[in-house]
């Protein structure tokens, strides 16, 4: 569900990652239903027939016992029993609350330091030549970088008011954030007015001299800045110039997150002149847009994931305390992931965004299983329900976290930014997920949940089981009655057929005129072939 949310992101890399991940998870889910379930069933048949699981060609010894395994199981049960009692006490909850306050403080500090940072160096290995080249390239490019401003509806430039407005647009961009100034501007109208003043008969703007201007040896290069119709120009028609662009420069900053104020200022200026259809463009703009979109995508994904978690818990766990606890744990894990990863040196970019979407999906797994098993427990006391829950799902929860971390450790043999992002995310997510599932949620659930009262409010499962037992008992009783009456009918018919024959009577007590051995077992079966 978290990956489906990520598919709505404005960043193409995040959309692609989310699409492939959602497709892979769907295929794995079908595999579990079709293939994995069949393998489990086949393994169950083998165990029932006494075959070994590892040495599959050998029979298992039913009397074999392992003292080590029994000892480990006993120690595990003792630890879970004592831990369940301790986590249910108020001193333990107070200590946990103090620890969680420090945890949230550290997470808040990390979130405040979190920044969107997209750089080319992250795509290369640490020892790659690309990193050294990018540093030198950025140092040189920082002195002056161009921005192109397109004017798609210039209108009639013979109108002094419209021509003055276009000149004002140029001045606004020359004084924008990080701008280099007028000396870095390439604007064809300014050069054309100088041309008219030197060669023309009048200084008023006219389209008739534009073809001559663009064909001159001095100003021919400016023809690439305009889209013009030479025939209309010779007729002094405004259709001569349908659109054009000019260039100016900015300096001092090169990183995408540093250019956010400049890009916002450029777009603010363009929005002031909607009739002229002004569009500023820089080669950095797409990356700046991604940087701006990452923040909203992260918080939007968090909110949507929490909402979807609440809906899923409401469907499968119809218990308000369990739903609130599960949603709180997901929020707590997500906040910790953002804060701790920021303190660990990770920034927001498309790669970390994809990893965070994966982490949100992981955090739901750790909390929902604990909440579901706690809700399904038959024990009445909350501490006993926690013990029952941890006995069933505690060790598998630890196995999930450890196996996920171990599975990605071989990637350290070839470290890169991508590998480190996913490694850090998985380590933090699994650690926080196991901690919240085994410590935080049991402490909260035992504090907010009351003991069950089975005599007053049986659960849905118990009610259905009771109804099934009653239905089965009713069907069995009806079958016995039906079988009894059919047997009696058969005996009566046989007595009528053989009453005048020399065959001994059917009733055994009438044989030889004296009572015979009489069985007090009621005749009749659940079903009769007659």
Q: Is residue 400 part of a domain?
A: yes
Total-model pTM:
0.67
> Which pLDDT band holds residue 483 (cuts at 50, 70, 90)?
low
Do residues 278 and 169 lie in contact, with contact meaning Cβ atoms separated by under 8 Å? yes
What does the pLDDT average to over 189-210?
A: 84
Asked if pLDDT for residue 519 goes beyond 80, the answer is no
Asked if pLDDT for residue 184 goes beyond 50, the answer is yes
Does residue 242 share a domain with residue 96? Answer: no
Asked if pLDDT for residue 207 goes beyond 50, the answer is yes
Name 59's bridge partners: 51
Asked if pLDDT for residue 380 goes beyond 90, the answer is no
Does residue 261 share a domain with residue 169? Answer: yes
> Could you read off the pLDDT of 127-153 as tens digits, one per residue?
777 777 777 878 888 888 899 999 999
DSSP state at residue 277:
T
Asked if pLDDT for residue 527 goes beyond 60, the answer is no
> Which pLDDT band holds residue 513 (cuts at 50, 70, 90)?
very low
Does residue 251 share a domain with residue 392? Answer: no
Residues with Cβ within 8 Å of 295's Cβ and at least 6 positions away in sequence, in order, are: 116, 348
Nearest Cα to Cα of residue 136 among 151, 120, 148, 125? 120
Does residue 433 share a domain with residue 509? Answer: no
CATH code at position 102 = 1.20.1640.10
Asked if pLDDT for residue 476 goes beyond 60, the answer is no
Nearest Cα to Cα of residue 116 among 448, 280, 356? 356
Task: Please report the pLDDT score of residue 484 as a whole number.
Answer: 52
Q: Is residue 339 part of a domain?
A: yes
What does the pLDDT average to over 422-434?
A: 91
Domain finish residue from 428, 448, 468: 448
> Which pLDDT band holds residue 248 (cuts at 50, 70, 90)?
very high
Picking from 141-145, 266-270, 303-307, which range would have the lowest pLDDT averaged per residue? 303-307
The CA distance from 264 to 262, in Å, is: 5
Q: Is residue 40 part of a domain?
A: no
Q: Is residue 391 part of a domain?
A: yes
Asked if pLDDT for residue 464 goes beyond 50, the answer is no
Does residue 273 share a domain with residue 136? Answer: yes
> Which pLDDT band holds residue 109 (cuts at 50, 70, 90)?
very high
Task: Please report the pLDDT score of residue 273 as a whole number.
Answer: 93
Q: Is 137 helix (H, G, I), strand (E, B) or coil?
A: helix
Does residue 481 share a domain with residue 340? Answer: no
Does residue 241 share a domain with residue 265? Answer: yes
Q: State what percent of residues in the chain have pLDDT above 90.
A: 27
DSSP state at residue 116:
B
Does residue 169 share a domain with residue 273? Answer: yes
The residue among 123 and 155 whose pLDDT is bigger is: 155
The residue among 106 and 510 whose pLDDT is bigger is: 106
Name 464's bridge partners: none
Task: Please report the pLDDT score of residue 89 as a whole number.
Answer: 92
What does the pLDDT average to over 145-167?
A: 92
524: left (phi over 0), alpha (psi -120 to 50) or beta: left
The residue among 133 and 454 whose pLDDT is bigger is: 133
Q: Is residue 213 part of a domain?
A: yes
Residue 409: Cβ-neighbour burial (10 angstroms; 0-12, 13-18, 19+):
exposed
Q: Is 280 helix (H, G, I), strand (E, B) or coil?
A: strand
Picking from 23-32, 107-116, 473-482, which range would have the lowest pLDDT averaged per residue? 473-482
Q: Is residue 336 part of a domain?
A: yes
Domain finish residue from 220, 252, 283: 283
Does residue 275 share a domain with residue 300? Answer: no
Residues with Cβ within 8 Å of 489's Cβ and at least 6 positions away in sequence, in order, are: none
Domain finish residue from 283, 315, 345: 283
Task: Please report the pLDDT score of residue 175 as a whole number.
Answer: 92
Helices (H), 235-319: 260-271, 285-316
Does residue 323 share a domain with residue 437? Answer: yes
Nearest Cα to Cα of residue 426 among 452, 406, 451? 406
Does residue 298 share a domain with residue 342? Answer: yes
Task: Please report the pLDDT score of residue 409 as a whole number.
Answer: 86
> Which pLDDT band holds residue 485 (cuts at 50, 70, 90)?
low
* Phi, psi at 369, each rounded to 5°: -65, -40
What does the pLDDT average to over 75-98?
A: 92
Asked if pLDDT for residue 239 goes beyond 70, the answer is yes
Task: Please report the pLDDT score of residue 153 as a whole number.
Answer: 93
Picking from 49-53, 272-276, 403-407, 427-431, which range would have the lowest pLDDT averaged per residue? 49-53
Task: Please report the pLDDT score of residue 272 as a whole number.
Answer: 93
Picking from 96-105, 120-129, 206-215, 321-330, which range would have the lowest pLDDT averaged per residue? 120-129
* Phi, psi at 8, each rounded to 5°: -90, 5
Task: Please report the pLDDT score of residue 290 as a whole number.
Answer: 79
Q: Provide the domain limits for residue 524.
A: 476-530
What does the pLDDT average to over 70-74?
A: 88
The residue among 428 and 450 whose pLDDT is bigger is: 428
Task: Please report the pLDDT score of residue 307 as a whole number.
Answer: 79
What's the total number of domains in the chain? 3
Do residues 432 and 141 lie in contact, with contact meaning Cβ atoms separated by under 8 Å? no
What does the pLDDT average to over 362-390?
A: 88
Q: Is residue 62 part of a domain?
A: no
Task: Please report the pLDDT score of residue 356 as a whole number.
Answer: 81
Which residue matches tokens 């002229």? 276
> Could you read off the pLDDT of 338-357 as tens digits, one per residue?
899 999 988 887 778 778 87
Task: Please report the pLDDT score of residue 200 as a whole number.
Answer: 66
Does residue 272 share a domain with residue 149? Answer: yes
Asked if pLDDT for residue 271 goes beyond 90, the answer is yes
Q: Is residue 330 part of a domain?
A: yes
């Amino acid at each position: 569900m978290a990956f489906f949310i990520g598919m709505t992101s404005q960043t193409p890399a995040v959309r692609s990652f989310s699409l492939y991940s959602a497709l892979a998870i769907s295929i794995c889910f079908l595999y579990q239903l079709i293939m994995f379930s069949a393998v489990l069933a086949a393994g169950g048949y083998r165990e029932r027939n006494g075959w070994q699981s590892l040495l599959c060609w050998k029979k298992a010894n039913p009397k074999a016992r392992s003292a080590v395994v029994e000892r480990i199981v006993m120690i595990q049960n003792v630890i879970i029993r004592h831990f369940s009692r301790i986590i249910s006490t108020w001193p333990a909850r107070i200590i946990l609350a103090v620890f969680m306050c420090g945890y949230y403080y550290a997470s808040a500090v990390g979130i405040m330091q979190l920044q969107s940072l997209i750089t080319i160096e992250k795509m290369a290995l640490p020892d790659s030549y690309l990193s050294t080249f990018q540093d030198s390239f950025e140092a040189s490019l920082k002195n002056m970088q161009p921005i192109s401003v397109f004017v798609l509806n210039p209108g009639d430039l013979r109108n002094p008011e419209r021509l003055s407005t276009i000149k004002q647009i140029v001045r606004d961009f020359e004084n924008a954030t990080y701008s280099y100034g007028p000396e870095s501007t390439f604007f064809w109208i300014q050069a054309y007015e100088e041309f008219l003043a030197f060669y023309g008969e009048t200084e008023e703007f006219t389209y008739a001299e534009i073809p001559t201007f663009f064909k001159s040896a001095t100003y021919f290069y400016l023809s690439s800045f305009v889209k013009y119709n030479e025939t209309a120009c010779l007729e002094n028609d405004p259709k001569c110039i349908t659109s054009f662009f000019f260039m100016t420069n900015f300096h001092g900053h090169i990183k995408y997150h540093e250019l956010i104020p400049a890009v916002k200022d450029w777009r603010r200026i363009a929005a002031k002149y909607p009739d002229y259809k002004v569009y500023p463009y820089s080669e950095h703009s797409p990356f700046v847009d991604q940087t701006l979109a990452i923040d909203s995508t992260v918080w939007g994904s968090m909110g949507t994931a929490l909402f979807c978690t609440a809906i899923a818990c409401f469907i499968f766990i119809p218990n308000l305390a369990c739903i609130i606890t599960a949603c709180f744990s997901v929020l707590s894990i997500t906040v910790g992931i953002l804060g701790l990863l920021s303190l660990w040196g990770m920034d927001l970019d498309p790669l970390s965004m994809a990893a965070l979407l994966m982490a949100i999906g992981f955090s739901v797994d750790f909390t929902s299983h604990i909440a579901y098993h706690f809700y399904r427990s038959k024990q009445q006391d909350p501490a006993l329900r926690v013990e029952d829950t941890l006995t069933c799902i505690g060790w598998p929860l630890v196995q999930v976290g450890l196996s996920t971390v171990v599975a990605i450790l071989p990637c350290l043999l070839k470290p890169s930014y991508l590998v480190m992002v996913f490694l850090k995310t998985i380590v933090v997510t699994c650690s926080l997920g196991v901690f919240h599932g085994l410590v935080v949620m049991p402490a909260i659930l035992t504090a907010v949940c009351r003991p069950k009262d089975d005599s007053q409010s049986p659960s849905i499962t118990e009610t259905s089981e009771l109804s099934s037992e009653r239905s089965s008992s009713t069907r069995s009783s009806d079958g016995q009655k039906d079988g009894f009456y059919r047997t009696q009918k058969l005996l009566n018919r046989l007595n009528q057929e053989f009453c005048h024959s020399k065959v001994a009577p059917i009733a055994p007590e009438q044989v030889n005129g004296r009572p015979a051995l009489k069985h007090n077992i009621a005749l009749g079966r659940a079903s009769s072939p007659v």
